[in-house]
Amino acid sequence: MKKIKNIPKFDRPREKLQKKGVKALSNLELMTALLGKGVKGRDVFRVAKDVLKVAENDFDNLTVEKLEKIDGIGLAKACQILSAIELVKRLLTKDSIKIRTAKDIVKLVEELKERKQEYFLTFTLDGGGNLIRERTVFIGTLNQSLVHPREVFADAITDRAAAIIFVHNHPSGNLTPSREDKLITKRLIETGNIVGINVLDHIIVSKNGHFSFKTEGILEEENDDTR
């Protein structure tokens, strides 16, 4: 493994990037440029090679803990690497669907207003408020035994979501949340607090419009009750 001190200065990763542009660098050189330097006894190229190996083998599940196991990577560098990866992901999805209000979600579920059965959907979001994925979790009359937090949050955890929004329809047209709706919401908020996924809203839709737990202040009330 070559050492950076043995490479002519003009051909070192950062100097090469400056002169020839970022596309001229190999993956190893890019990681070396990101890390900047190694640690005592381990040249930056050796550390970068180990980071690349871990990243290439398990990119979607990369964590601070996994990176810190690499000799030469501490908390600061692990956070630096993960932050760079997340920033790129967000920039690449900048044209994706951004969720800011309940109306943004309602636009995506117009077909639910005419359904004759109840549908329970989840929308997972990243830290920037971008929609990761929409899923239909349950079809039928909602109750606590059927809308189980395990099923609701399993995919959200897989998505590595920062937040989640719930949506279900009322075929009757009545937008008032039932006692069961409130109990389910409270239970899901409790689970979200445990797993670290923020429940942003629970929206009820019908042919007569929509009802947002957040807009009506009910979400905050349920959140307070779980603390």
Can you give the CATH number for the domain in which 135 is found? 3.40.140.10
Whether 70 and 13 map to the same domain: the answer is yes
State pLDDT tens for residues 29-60. 899 989 988 888 888 889 999 999 998 888 87
Residue 7 has pLDDT above 80, yes or no: no
In a domain, 97, yes or no: no
In a domain, 190, yes or no: yes
Residue 3's pLDDT is what? 60
Whether 108 and 88 map to the same domain: the answer is no
**Which residue's entry shows tokens 């807009």?**
215
Q: Where are the beta strands (DSSP E) in 59-162?
A: 119-125, 131-139
- Smallest CA-to-CA distance from 213 within 102, 116, 106 is with 102
Whether 54 and 127 map to the same domain: the answer is no
DSSP state of 134: E
Residue 220 has pLDDT above 80, yes or no: no
Range of the domain at 220: 102-225
In a domain, 37, yes or no: yes
| Mean pLDDT for the stretch of residues 67-87 | 92
Q: Which two tokens stand for residue 157?
A: 């955890």
First-to-last CA distance in the chain? 54
Whether 135 and 199 map to the same domain: the answer is yes
Among residues 65, 92, 119, the one where a domain terminates is 92
DSSP state of 178: P
- Alpha carbon distance 91, 18 (integer Å): 22
Among residues 92, 121, 143, the one where a domain terminates is 92
Structural domain total, the chain: 2
Whether 79 and 108 map to the same domain: the answer is no
Residue 72's pLDDT is what? 93
Whether 44 and 110 map to the same domain: the answer is no
- Alpha carbon distance 201, 104 (integer Å): 12
Whether 68 and 119 map to the same domain: the answer is no
| Mean pLDDT for the stretch of residues 201-206 | 96
Mean pLDDT of the chain, nearest integer: 86
Residue 2 has pLDDT above 60, yes or no: no
Residues in the chain: 227
**Which residue's entry shows tokens 């419009």?**
209
Residue 143's pLDDT is what? 59
Q: 3-state DSSP call for residue 152?
A: helix
| Mean pLDDT for the stretch of residues 74-89 | 89
Whether 86 and 106 map to the same domain: the answer is no
Residue 218's pLDDT is what? 82
State pLDDT tens for residues 128-152. 899 999 998 888 776 555 677 888 8
Residue 93 has pLDDT above 70, yes or no: no
Whether 143 and 216 map to the same domain: the answer is yes
- Alpha carbon distance 9, 206 (integer Å): 66
Residue 224's pLDDT is what? 60
- Smallest CA-to-CA distance from 155 within 134, 184, 186 is with 134
Region of poorest pLDDT, from 66-75, 95-104, 154-163, 203-212: 95-104
Element (H, E) at 189: helix 179-195
Among residues 68, 92, 116, the one where a domain terminates is 92
Residue 33, CA distances (Å) to 38, 57, 75, 203, 208 in order: 11, 21, 18, 46, 57
Percent of the chain with pLDDT over 70: 88
Residue 94 has pLDDT above 90, yes or no: no
Is 0.95 surpassed by the pTM of this model?
no
Residue 109's pLDDT is what? 92
- Smallest CA-to-CA distance from 197 within 225, 166, 162 is with 162
